[in-house]
Structure 1
Amino acid sequence: MAQSMSSPPPALAARGSQGIILKETSGSRLESTISGSECRVMEFSSDGCQLAWCDGKSVTVMDVPSGAVKYTISKPKTRCIQFSPLGSYLALWEPYAVTKDVPAGTPNLHVYNSSGELVTEYIQKKQQGWCPQWTEDEQVCARNVTNEVHCFSGGAPGLTCDNKLQIAGLTTYALSRGKLPYKIVVYVPGSKGAPCFVRMFAYPNLNASAIMASRSFYKSDTVSFSWNKKGSAVLVTTTTEVDKTGASYYGEQGLHYVSARGESNMVQLSKKGPIYDVDWNPNSEEFCVVYGFMPAKATIFNCKCDPVYDFGTGHRNMAKYNPHGNILCLAGFGNLRGNIDLWDRESLKPIKKLEASDSTQFEWCPDGVHFVTATTAPRLRVGNGYKVWHFCGTLVQCEDTPPKQELWEVKWRPFPAGTFPTPSTSSTAPPTTIEQPVQQEKKAAYRPPALRGKPYTYKLHEEEPPQRVGAAEEKEKDKLSKSAQKNKKKRESKLKSKEQEQVVITRGSKRGAEKDDALALAAQILRGNKDKVVDPVGSGKSDSEKKLKNLRKKLTQIEQLKQQQAEGKQLETNQIEKIKTEQSILEEIEKLTLS
């Protein structure tokens, strides 16, 4: 049953040095679930009915509505917990270790059913990609083994798999989130000059000849997959450990799009730099990317990888759609100031600008109306706490962690899809008695006394305003017919070619005139007759002018030979004879000049 917009948001769990506390956002404490201070990990089931945590002694699973403990598992070293989509299975991972008695190591990945009974266990050395993956209906479970992906039907992983996907060098895989047909995407890094590639398969056809889509690329050491909600497309973020161009200390990144229809493209980003965040809209028809050196850009792309809307530049490193997809949050956390920009996705108009300083965590509430920002350890050990906000800018709840205590994690209690209605972005925020944080005035940059009171002539970072991509071009194209657009292009190209030809002709004539002037002046100086300088620039050259030019050229050569002879160089016979013709050449030049 859908809840009304005026109802309070769901409860959230805060894990810290004082334990795990399940609280309502109205401020009343529901139940203190753990009193110890060694709660290393906690996890909700996808429907929010179960909560599991490890306190260093055992793993406890609680029924959230009743508050009763369902079962406990004696696994004190557990570091990771994950429920299957329907909550039927619980996967636990603890660090891999070997002993003298068992040099091969003992299984450290355990899977239990909803009653706490062990289903199966494996050896999983690496923490990255440790958890088996299920489809949303839990009909298929997949697990990564060396060069293989083992698939189990029925949702219960076992010792023998029903189907295998075998590719040499396979390192990473991801199971689609949607329902039938189930899809698996795998990544194989390149070696010996061969490119890396990503391939998509439809379960149960996992043969090499049954590839649905493929994408190859270079510059990739690791990848991360991001499926859309329908399971019809996946985004592949590639990362290299070292940027060979030296532009970034953290390596180089790229973004690729692979569709179940066989389409694959590279997402063209208009600014160089790292990719901070990628988020799909829950409607599976678009995605938002935050990228580029600071100030970073944020752009919405459609499923053709064409930019739809450019939010300009700003100090941000995160993009998150609310669960209904009608509100987009752009924020800058971590080493950034904590600015939060909320946008209406339908109208692409800003809703509210906030500032949550020193925030390290952000999460949308399942109702799509509220969100939480938190300052957590170990990133920041001072000023820990969390705040619950309404998207209109109202601060609903503010919880500060007591002195000498730390907050490690904050999580909303999940609810099944369809529990909450789609919020209206035109609704007003409810009244609140909590004092709103005062926005501190930004300190002006220092300016020398001589420049104070004068306008700025430059900016360190010129920020770009938001704009709809290609809006002006689309309007102009709509006004003109196809034939008119074609004729316009022809006229523009013809005019451009004429302008280029004119520039070439002008430059050529200018160079020719300057060259002739220099040659004429040099010949007259060599003769020693400065009174009779001939201007060779004219509309055309007669035969006498051409002959005069050749004679001057010979005279220049004779002067060079005479200089070489004076320096002691032995000349050839023909060169000596050429020097003897100097007087006759001078007389002929004089006659042609007088005529």
Structure 2
Amino acid sequence: MVAIENTQIVLASRPVADIDPKTTFRVQKESLSGELGPNEILVKVLYISLDPAMRGWMRDVRSYIRPVRIDEVMRSADVAQVIKSNNTNYKVGDLVRATCGWQEYAVLKPSEDLVKIKAFPGVSPSTYLGVLGMTGLTAYFGLYEVGEIVKKGGPNCTVVVSGAAGATGMVAAQIAKHVFGCRVIGIAGSPDKCDYLVKELGLDAALNYKSKTFFKDLCAVTPKLIDIFFDNTGGDILDACLRRIAFKGRIIVCGAISTYNDATPKGPAYYSALITQRARMEGFIVFDYAKQYGKAIEDMSQWIKEGKLQSRETIVHGIESAPEALVKLFRGDNTGKMLVKVAEEDSRSLRSASGIGLSEGAPAFGAPAGFEKQTGNIRVLQYSKNGQYLAWATPECVKVMDAQSLEVIQEIAVKDIIEIDFSPKGTFLSTWMRQIKTEDGSHKNMSIYEVKTGQELTSFSQKSQNNWNVQWTDDEAYCARMVSNEVHFWEPKNLTKTPFTKLRQEGMSQFSLSPGKSTSVAVFFGERKGAPAMVRIYSITNFTVPLASKSFFKADRVQMIWNQLGTNVLVWATTDHDKTGKSYYGETNLYYLAVAGNFDCRVPIDGLIHDVAWAPASKDFVVIHGQMPSPKTTLFDHRANAVHEFGRDARNTIKWNPCGRILVLAGFGNLAGTMDFWDRKTLKKIASVSARDTTACEWSPDNRHILTATLSPRLRVDNGYKIWHYTGTLVHTEELNELYQVSWRPAAPELYAIRSALSPAPKPTANSAVAAAKPAPARAMGAYRPPQARGTPAPSLFTDASANNTSASATSNAAADANLSKAALKNKKKRENAKKNKDSEDGALASTPAAPTAGSGANSPARSNTPRPNSNNNSSNNNKSKPQNGALLPATTTSASSQMTETEKKIRNVTKKLKQIHELKEKQAAGETLELTQLQKITAEAALLKELEALKI
């Protein structure tokens, strides 16, 4: 193992009163060689526990544990992961609770402090620093051993807990209330915390000790006095409860956080109540009961499963955040356990010809312990969006594994599944198989299951594999799918019943649900009978009036791209053919709609669109547009104004890292594979690397690493994956035979906020260093040539044409016309005019949707240069047939115009004029100079619109 740079925080000086993070602590770096002695293990720290006791450890006084020395790593209880081991009792990947201190890595020897832990479904490893850690054990033994709650507990026992919104008090209050059925009053420091204690944890009452009427309120809620007082705080709260202690009452003292920063702590003023009430006040240290930890953890684990114990955590991120977070702990800014998240158990899953494999993250990159490799024909692999579950399909069944404990928790006996997907919170699992033809066409090949029970909740008939799954709202309150011209909505609890509601709109062909808290639904209507295409946005609670709408021409289909907040949507519109002859890929346009209905526009771009991506912050977006081989890349703000150009290069892929700080612009598919890393904050390029033959690309949740892979069957040679740091360093590489899928385990982006100063690159692993040293195989390079132009001289149509230049198609046509006789030229013009008239007739040609793209189970190829967005329609009922040679099918064998009424013909003619005006306005907006007759035509738009409205009445 290469040397590891280890960040540590040490005690620099002993505070006299309040802690000053800048003078009390110091950040330093050390290098760990990775070499281990006998029985030693090397661990990566995941979570650091922040506790009030740390203030006492900084004092150079006699205590139950020696003080932390100056220049020593600050002591803390931690959860860590083994990344190297010389101890047979600890394997790589094991999770342990240990005293590592404020540092990123530690070398440990077996001791009483080193305990192997095992996560179970739905419980984070951080729980072993809270409910199942020292804080939870303190609450448990305080109530059992000092408070004698087994004897006193019950509905007639009144328990008061100070610091009840803190880590220890929260557990004590819940045990007293939900395990022993006592009447429990919590004391906290804000109205919000008091509301949480009553409404979420179910306490009988909660008091704000900062209130001027605190003691009066305490008397009101303790008419029969206090039988057990669990005290974390000391000071005035202890005095108030001493005045209300019952006869033979018990006062459990486990802390006095309100006095820790006092230069001269004060004693209780009403200790005489202990005499008059024959009460007992006793302090204790949790270490006194170390031999009973096993029983306590077993009990509390069971209470968690039964729902009697809830945990809440306040988490800060990054080891350097620890000093300031400790100050916040003493200010009472936390609710529940205060933790520092240092690192993630980042891992990757992969599917190859040999089965499924898992790999841990940096710096070990080893296989996790406890995972039994799945071999055989694995058809598809899928993580839940929250990273809680990993599911895969075999020819015989679908298995669901808890991604933390690596235990298979569900096996669904359903055969021949080739697509699977989870709902946003991982509550439901959808599956799809190829439809089997039956006489009545009733085979229901798409099903939804509840993950916890494995029960099938409902099923549908879904022919198309393209967009096969239902769409969910982020909160899983509703799911939806399209059936003919309707979008059906269900509540999950009533999936077996008729839809909860329906959105009915004639001509609707696609829909898309927005992310975010207030869900909207965007629907697309294609061009019909000369009328323009349209996108409308509705609230899912009101389909009567749209929130926003936008009409436009040149749209056979669209892709609706929402920002993460669900407040704005980009509509990427595509046609099958480019009538100007500039592109054989068709025409593309981009439109912007605000859900609020206060803004919409056409995004000003040049040429074809190759990729579009919102920044995670939802305030700006990037578009790659223009002719290959050197399209433009432009950054637009929240009002579609171009604010930065990233230059021209052979690119077709945009990848934002999860927090939006780093932007990757790349050219994959049949491009050279160059990846440019840009800093969004400074708009400067960080690095540029070559990732040839990349067919899949994905950022790690940690914001710092990006994975590129070469997958089968797109490419059957050089399969494998590479992990890059955003500084351009190749950190790790693996070569595998027939790799079909590889993906990161998802995690919340906020867990890995990038600091203001970008972190340096880590040292690469040995195999990546070797791979980086290999010379790239020689490859004949040249200018990009589209497939239809290869082997012929490069015409001028593959360069951007200015407004004053004649189009390439017109130039080539003029050259061809010069070689024709007069009679042939006359006949050619007649044919062209006839074709134009036919194209303008309504219904002459059927609109053709995009060919279905393969889903995850069919190994989707990397993005090509073809700028055709996928359909968002998840119903096969709206798919029109398309011959394999790409020819369009006639909609009817008779002339559509001959069947029109006079009014319909007038509507067609007016709409045609409006379309021409729309095109003229687009040219004008692009800076093109219009003739006087064209300008006059634009002025007639208002009159034409009124005429159109009158005709439709």
Corresponding residue to 2:732 among 397, 415, 419: 397
CA 1:336–1:33 in 2, change beyond 3 Å: closer, same or farther?
Answer: farther
Q: What is the RMSD of the two structures over their aligned residues, measured on CA atoms?
A: 2.5
C-alpha displacement of 1:246: 2.4
Partners of 2:558 and 2:572 within 8 A in 1: yes
Give the deviation of 1:301 after TM superposition. Answer: 0.7
Residue 547 of structure 2 aligns to a residue whose secondary structure is strand
Q: Secondary structure of 2:772's match?
A: coil
Report the equivalent of 1:18. 354
| Aligned counterpart in structure 1 of residue 672 of structure 2, from 337, 340, 344 | 337
Offset of residue 316 of structure 1: 0.9
Distance 2:719 2:777 in 1: 23
CA distance in 1, matches of 2:777, 2:454: 55
Q: Residue type of the partner of 1:39? A: I
Q: Which residue of 1 aligns with 2:614?
A: 280
Cα pair 1:9 1:365 within 8 Å, conserved: no
- Return the alpha-carbon distance in structure 2 between the equivalents of residues 417 and 280 of structure 1: 15
The residue type equivalent to 1:302 in the other structure is D
Deviation, 1:9, is: 6.7
Q: Give TM-score scaled by structure 2 length.
A: 0.44
Q: Is 2:403 the partner of 1:64?
A: yes
2:93 maps to 1:93: no
1:259 aligns with 2:594: yes
Deviations 1:494-542 (CA, angstroms, capped at 9, x unpaired): xxxxxxxxxxxxxxxxxxxxxxxxxxxxxxxxxxxxxxxxxxxxxxxxx
1:384-533 pair list within 5 angstroms: 384-401=719-736, 405-424=737-756, 426-434=758-766, 435=769, 437-438=772-773
Aligned to 1:206: 543
CA contact (8 A) 1:139 1:155 kept: no
Change (3 A) 1:156 1:412: farther
SS of equivalent residue, structure 1 residue 437:
helix
2:348·2:359 contact (CA, 8 Å) conserved in 1?
A: yes
2:389 counterpart residue number: 50
Structure 1 residues 32, 243: CA separation in 2 closer, same or farther (over 3 Å shift)?
Answer: farther
Bigger proportion of residues as strand: 1
**CA shift in 2, pair 1:256/1:460, >3 Å:** closer
Asked if structure 2 preserves the Cα contact closer than 8 Å seen for 1:141 and 1:156, the reply is no
On the 8 A contact 1:140/1:155 being kept in 2, the answer is no
Counterpart in the other structure of 1:183: 520
Q: 1:462 to 1:243 in 2, by over 3 A?
A: closer
Which position in structure 2 is the counterpart of 1:239? 574
What is the Cα deviation at residue 158 of structure 1? Answer: 3.6
Q: C-alpha separation between the residues in 2 aligned to 1:211 and 1:299? A: 31
Rounded Cα–Cα distance in structure 1 between residues aligned with 2:532 and 2:693: 41
Equivalent residue letter for 1:327: I
Residue in 2 aligned with 1:39? 378
Contact 1:225 1:236 in 2 (8 A): yes
Matched residue, 1:358:
693
Q: 2:588 and 2:568 mapped to 1: Cα distance?
A: 20
Q: What's the offset of the Cα at 1:247?
A: 2.0
Q: What is the number of residues matched between the two proteins?
A: 441
Q: After TM superposition, which residue ranges in structure 1, 4 or more long, deviate above 6 angstroms?
A: 441-446, 459-463
Deviation at 1:37, TM superposition (A): 3.8
Assess, with a 3 A threshold, how the Cα gap between structure 1 residues 424 and 370 changes in structure 2: closer, same or farther. farther
Amino acid at match of 2:487: V
- Give how far 1:416 is off: 2.6
Matched letter for residue 356 of structure 2 = I
Distance 2:780 2:443 in 1: 61
Which runs of 5 or more structure 1 residues have no equivalent in the other structure?
447-458, 464-595
Contact persistence 1:9–1:370 (CA under 8 A) = no
Aligned twin of 2:469: 131
CA displacement at 1:144 relative to structure 2: 1.2
Contact 1:39 1:54 in 2 (8 A): yes
- For 1:462 and 1:166, how far apart are their aligned partners in 2? 45
Output the CA distance in 1 between the equivalents of 2:372 and 2:510: 36
Q: Does 1:107 align with 2:444?
A: yes
Contact map agreement 2:659 2:750 (CA 8 A) in 1: no
- Structure exhibiting the larger radius of gyration computed from Cα positions: 1
* Residue 227 of structure 1, CA deviation: 0.7
How far has the Cα of 1:257 moved from its partner?
Answer: 0.8
Identical residues among aligned pairs (%):
39
Give the match's secondary structure for 2:480. Answer: strand
Could you list the runs of 5+ residues in structure 2 that have no partner in the other structure? 1-314, 320-341, 783-795, 801-953
State the 1:35 CA deviation.
Answer: 3.6
The residue that corresponds to 2:648 in the other structure is 313
Mapped to 1, the partners of 2:317 and 2:622 lie a distance apart of 29
In 2, Cα distance between equivalents of 1:149 and 1:462: 43
Name the CA distance, whole Å, in 1 between partners of 2:765 and 2:405.
31
* SS at structure 2 position matched to 1:419: helix
Deviation at 1:358, TM superposition (A): 1.4
Does the CA-based 8 Å contact 1:2-1:418 persist in structure 2? no
Q: Which amino acid aligns with 1:117?
A: Q
Which string of whole-angstrom CA distances, capped at 9 and with x for unpartnered residues, describes residues 159-210 of structure 1? 3112111001211111110102x21000111122111110000121012xx1
Distance 1:212 1:352, change over 3 A: same
Q: CA deviation at 1:229?
A: 0.6
Q: Distance in 1 between matches of 2:447 and 2:680?
A: 42
Are the aligned partners of 1:152 and 1:158 in contact in 2 as well (CA < 8 Å)?
A: no
Q: How far apart are the structure 2 equivalents of 1:97 and 1:215?
A: 40
- Aligned AA (2:521): I
2:626 pairs with 1:289: no
Aligned residue identity for 1:311:
F
Q: C-alpha separation between the residues in 2 aligned to 1:134 and 1:308?
A: 34
Q: 1:370 to 1:307 in 2, by over 3 A?
A: same
**CA 1:155/1:272 → structure 2, altered by over 3 Å: closer, same or farther?**
farther
User: How far apart in 2 are the matches of 1:93 and 1:154?
Assistant: 18
* Distance of 1:462 and 1:50 partners within structure 2: 48
Structure 2 CA distance for aligned equivalents of residues 105 and 345 of structure 1: 52
Check conservation: 1:272, 1:293, Cα contact below 8 A.
yes
Q: Distance in 1 between matches of 2:739 and 2:686?
A: 30
Cα offset, 1:460, TM superposition: 13
Deviation at 1:250, TM superposition (A): 2.1
Pairing partner for 2:638 from 303, 308, 313: 303
Residue identity matched to 1:11: S
